[in-house]
Amino acid sequence: MIDHVSIGVRDLAAARAFYGAVLAEIGYRLIDDRSDTAGFGKKYSDFWLNARPGLAANSEDTGVHVCLRTRTKEQVEAFYATALDQGAVDAGAPGLRPQYAEAYYAAFIKDADGNVVEVVTFLEGEK
């Protein structure tokens, strides 16, 4: 079982604002806020941003891929829409992904550092 995930970001203040907005859509909040790191979660910090000012932007085929589970289709859609409004790049619009599982409903965004964040829920009774 994974306890937490950390991703490197070049501009911690910008990433903190971006992730504060998009993660709120799935019930996360900023819990730990330090000079070189920020932790988001529901009860405790399980999604961390680490300041890496010298980090080179990830190319098209590199970077971290993190997937966060949500409870509803609406949360997937709200996360995706908010992320795009906040400047993220579309990496896969909300929709069913039957190649992963029959009820797998997900969306993918790419942040300013090239990290791909996916949100997923499993729809009951839908194909």
CATH number of the domain within which 21 lies: 3.10.180.10
Q: Whole-structure pTM over 0.85, yes or no?
A: yes
Give the per-residue pLDDT at 126.
56
Overall domain count for the chain: 1
Cβ within 8 Å of residue 44, ≥6 positions away: 31
- Rounded to 10 deg, the angle between the 12-24 and 73-85 helix axes is 150
Residue range of the domain that includes 94: 5-53+63-122
In a domain, 127, yes or no: no
In a domain, 58, yes or no: no
Give the per-residue pLDDT at 127.
47
- Each residue's pLDDT expressed in tens, for the chain with a length of 127 residues: 789 999 999 999 999 999 999 999 999 999 999 999 999 999 999 999 999 999 887 666 667 899 999 999 999 999 999 999 999 999 999 999 999 999 999 999 999 999 999 999 999 865 4
